[in-house]
Amino acid sequence: MSSRVYLLLGPEKGQKQETINRIRETLNKEFGEQIEYSKYYAFDDNNDQMYIDLNNISLFSPHSLIVLHNIDALKAPDVSNILKYLEHPNESSTFILVSDEFSIKSSASKIVTKLKKETTIFWGLQENQLFGWVKSFFRKNKLQIDDNAVQYILDQTDNDTLELKIICNQLSFYFSVNKKNNIICEDDIETFVHHSKSENAFSLFSAIAQAKLDDALEIATVLLERDNTSRYTLVPGLLWSFRRLISISDLCSQGYSPSQAFGKAKVFERPNAIRSKKDQIIYSSALKNYSYEDLKRILKTLLEADIDIRTSSTDTVKIYVEKLLYTIIVKKGKEMSKIQIASFKRTL
């Protein structure tokens, strides 16, 4: 098998992304310039461009890096096409296949068998390892944090360094500005959470679920103006809610009632039932406003928008967020025509 093919499995998204970044940097050095980079998602029904990228030499770069996420969602025809490619991979392309699962039972399991030697599994870190990771993160940012505060952070997050990095970035920015010398304690973290919880990604999701564009735009404006780090948490928070929603929508399509689906909701295959009456009302509204096909498009839109929003300038981040909300609520995830627009927010 070509050294230009990798299979990355497991729930530890942070380390997987670091591996992808490292491979990309290595290729840039090998070819002496920025190589062409593209990423695709297995749940997208139209990945024809991916096969073109894989099988052809780029006109603009001596090498291409193609990343395919969520391969556990591949359909049988795509599995067959990828297996054919793996028989004779193109040396001018590097192909990275990614899944958050560590054991794939769909038809994509044939790819896993084929790439056994090229597979790396990223297990979630143990709590003691995560504890050390958080301590180290704050130390690198010249901040001190006590053990109770670290545990509080871990209790609020999943077992994943990508999510931890987003949250710790937000916290370190806040405490660097507001608390320079003392050790951060649990009360400080709770104060920050209380200070931040009036509007957040989940209140934004509630407005999106009800298809209220004006409300969503107002909430997004509050988030962006209140906290410079909200660009790092906004899309991940929406992704979490939409992954939960798409699992409910899928269950409903299988014949479960909404109330049954709420009890079986999952995020990344982990049970995440919706018990709160208020949350059930929000998710019920979303089921009425967005079909399963809409949700697949929206999930792809969010994944693609995340990097743009994180890396955009202060002057343009608001436009990126407004475009994202318009694409979700009005276009139901369908790609917008390329128009020049200053703002989607209506004049009040």
Separation of alpha carbons 41 and 300, rounded Å: 7
**CA 95 centroid distance within chain:** 20
Q: Can you name the residues that pair with 36 across neighbouring β-strands?
A: 64
Separation of alpha carbons 215 and 201, rounded Å: 13
Separation of alpha carbons 9 and 108, rounded Å: 12
DSSP string, 276-335: -HHHHHHHHHHHHH--HHHHHHHHHHHHHHHHHHHHS-TTTHHHHHHHHHHHHHTTTTPP
Q: How many CB atoms lie within 10 A of CB 146?
A: 14
Q: Are 146 and 183 in contact (CB under 8 A)?
A: yes
Reported as half-sphere exposure (CB side, CA atoms, 13 A), residue 227 has a value of 27
Q: How many residues can be counted in the chain?
A: 348
Closest CA to 320 of 305, 330, 332: 305
What is the chain's pLDDT, residue by residue, as a tens digit (348 residues)?
A: 556 999 999 888 888 989 999 999 999 999 988 899 998 988 776 678 898 888 887 777 889 999 999 898 888 999 999 999 999 998 899 999 999 888 888 888 999 999 999 999 988 777 788 899 999 999 998 888 999 888 888 876 766 777 788 788 878 887 877 665 578 888 888 777 655 555 677 889 999 999 999 999 988 888 887 777 788 788 888 998 999 999 999 999 999 999 899 999 988 777 888 877 888 999 999 999 999 999 999 999 999 888 888 888 877 888 999 999 999 999 999 876 544 444 545 443
Q: Which amino acid is at 204?
A: L
- Which tokens is 226 given? 């209140």
Domains of the chain: 5-121 (3.40.50.300), 127-196 (1.10.8), 201-329 (1.20.272.10)
For the CA atoms of 330, 70, 23, 79, what is the dihedral angle to 10 degrees? -120
